């Protein structure tokens, strides 16, 4: 391992105090973490997962997860927005490692430091919007939700519903420049937590996409193998920030117990430590399963990844809530910091898939059925 790779988490720790100092202000104002994005670019974090052979940082999958976890300890919004870019990069790394197209996009991330935006959480299986076939391609109309990092984004990897006259209800997947005519990044992200992620909607008003830009056309109903690839690499990256948030809350709880020790406080802190271990073990299971992109994605890897995501969601929320119990009434004050961590960590369950839907998938896969 060279020094360049080894230093990613160390550099995240170094810039951590700067991110932490800005976090309360961006949260209070609901302002995108633009200054932090400039700092991330300066340190090469957007290209960290791109292989060195393609001009990137050459970080392993596990190192990318550690980077996002460390950033999450200091600013959840910055870490989560970066994770949305990073999981798209990771999917392309998997493709390249397995002989599929993706190197051109990775070279752009490395050479141009372009920022990728995902709308997958809002689209999921059936997508939305409408595509109309025209000469040379398609005209797109619709609103694509939860485009984290969109104020600084360059390229959206998204999808849209298409009523194909030959194949029936379909979904088209494609890359869309945010500077394209008819694309509007709406300033409509006003949320309870993760307020600095800039997760705005993208409005598409008659946007033209050439036919050759369509990377995948799939049936709108049912499970497609593309989701196995996504779920193999994405959850570890977009859940890592939440583990970092839980670690930050745990540090505050430990400090309070050290200052005001009691048997009750030790019991409460012990319960917190148990939940934090659950989060760490579940996150490590995601890293282990990816096996630095040697994973062969299938419905079983998808089901296990979704289950780990649920465990992380439950455990990280429990950690922050227990930290607030330990720290008492002061934790209810904004200036204390835990209140923001609680609001941020509460976003965890809304990433694909929410618990009830995840458990349906787990049950179906366990008896040999398709996930949906």
Q: What is the pLDDT of residues 281-314, one digit of tens each?
A: 999 999 999 999 999 999 999 999 999 999 999 9
255-264, long-range: CB within 8 Å, 24+ apart, which pairs? 256/326, 256/327, 256/328, 257/326
Instruction: Give percent above pLDDT 70 in the chain.
Output: 98
- Which of 354, 365, 359, 325 minimizes the C-alpha distance to 342? 325
Whether the Cβ atoms of residue 156 and residue 209 lie closer than 8 Å to each other? no
CA atoms within 13 A on the CB side of 40: 29
- Is CATH 1.20.140.10 what the domain over 226-366 is classified as, yes or no? yes
* CATH ID of 3-114, from 1.10.540.10, 1.10.1740.10, 2.160.10.10, 3.30.70.100: 1.10.540.10
- Which of 94, 101, 102, 7 minimizes the C-alpha distance to 45? 7
Say yes or no to pLDDT of 27 above 70.
yes
Whether the Cβ atoms of residue 177 and residue 185 lie closer than 8 Å to each other? no
CA atoms within 13 A on the CB side of 228: 15
pLDDT digits (tens, 9 = 90+) for 145-177: 999 999 999 999 999 999 999 999 999 999 999
Q: What is the mean pLDDT of residues 57-67?
A: 97
Would you state the pLDDT for residue 1? 41
The edge-to-edge listing of strands for the beta sheet with 168-177 is 116-118, 155-164, 168-177, 214-219
Say yes or no to pLDDT of 136 above 70.
yes
Would you state the pLDDT for residue 6? 56
Q: What is the mean pLDDT of residues 81-103?
A: 97
Would you state the pLDDT for residue 122? 79
Q: How far apart are CA 140 and CA 143, in angstroms?
A: 10
Q: Which residue intervals of 30-75 are DSSP H helices?
A: 34-42, 61-72
Domain with CATH 1.20.140.10 in the chain: 226-366
Q: For the chain, how many residues are written? A: 372
- Is CATH 2.40.110.10 what the domain over 120-219 is classified as, yes or no? yes
Residue indicated by tokens 């990728």? 116
Q: How many Å from the N-terminal Cα to the C-terminal Cα in the chain?
A: 41
DSSP type of residue 351: S
Whether the Cβ atoms of residue 320 and residue 249 lie closer than 8 Å to each other? yes
Query: Hey, what are 344's tokens?
Result: 């941020």
Domain with CATH 2.40.110.10 in the chain: 120-219
Q: Decide the pairing of beta strands 116-118 and 155-164.
A: parallel
Mean pLDDT of the chain, nearest integer? 96
Q: How far apart are CA 28 and CA 177, in angstroms?
A: 30
Give the relative orientation of helices 61-72 and 76-97 as an angle to the nearest 10 degrees: 170
Q: Considering the entire predicted model, what is its pTM?
A: 0.97
Would you state the pLDDT for residue 4? 54
Domain with CATH 1.10.540.10 in the chain: 3-114
């Amino acid at each position: 391992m060279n020094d360049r790779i080894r230093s990613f988490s160390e550099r995240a720790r170094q810039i951590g105090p700067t991110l932490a100092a800005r976090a309360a202000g961006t949260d209070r104002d609901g302002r995108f973490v633009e200054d932090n994005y400039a700092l991330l670019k300066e340190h090469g974090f957007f290209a960290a997962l791109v292989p060195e052979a393609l001009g990137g940082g050459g970080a392993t999958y596990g190192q990318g997860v550690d980077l996002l976890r460390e950033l999450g300890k200091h600013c959840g919004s910055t870490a989560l927005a970066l994770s949305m870019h990073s999981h798209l990069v990771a999917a392309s790394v998997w493709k390249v490692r397995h002989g599929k197209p993706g190197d051109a996009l990775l070279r752009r991330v490395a050479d141009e430091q372009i920022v990728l935006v995902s709308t997958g959480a809002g689209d999921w299986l059936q997508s939305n919007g409408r595509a109309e076939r025209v000469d040379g391609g398609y005209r797109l109309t619709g609103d694509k939700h939860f485009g984290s990092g969109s104020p600084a984004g360059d390229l959206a990897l998204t999808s849209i519903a298409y009523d194909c006259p030959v194949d029936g209800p379909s979904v088209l997947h494609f890359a869309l420049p945010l500077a394209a005519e008819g694309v509007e990044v709406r300033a409509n992200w006003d949320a309870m937590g993760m307020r600095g992620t800039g997760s705005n909607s993208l409005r598409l008003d008659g946007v033209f996409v050439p036919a050759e830009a369509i990377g995948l056309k799939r049936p709108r109903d049912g499970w497609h193998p593309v989701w196995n690839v996504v779920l193999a690499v994405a959850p570890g990256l977009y859940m890592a920030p939440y583990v970092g948030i839980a670690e930050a809350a745990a540090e505050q709880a430990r400090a309070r117990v050290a200052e005001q020790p009691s048997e009750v406080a030790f019991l409460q802190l012990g319960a917190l430590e148990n939940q934090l271990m659950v989060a760490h073990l579940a996150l490590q299971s995601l890293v282990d399963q990816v096996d630095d992109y040697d994973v062969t994605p299938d419905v079983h890897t998808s089901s296990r990844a979704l289950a780990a995501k649920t465990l992380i969601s439950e455990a990280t929320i429990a950690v922050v809530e227990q930290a607030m119990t330990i720290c008492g009434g002061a934790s209810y004050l904004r200036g204390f910091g835990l209140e923001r961590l609680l609001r941020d960590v509460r976003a965890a369950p809304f990433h694909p898939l929410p618990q009830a839907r995840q458990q349906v998938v787990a049950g179906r896969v366990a008896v040999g059925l398709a996930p949906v």
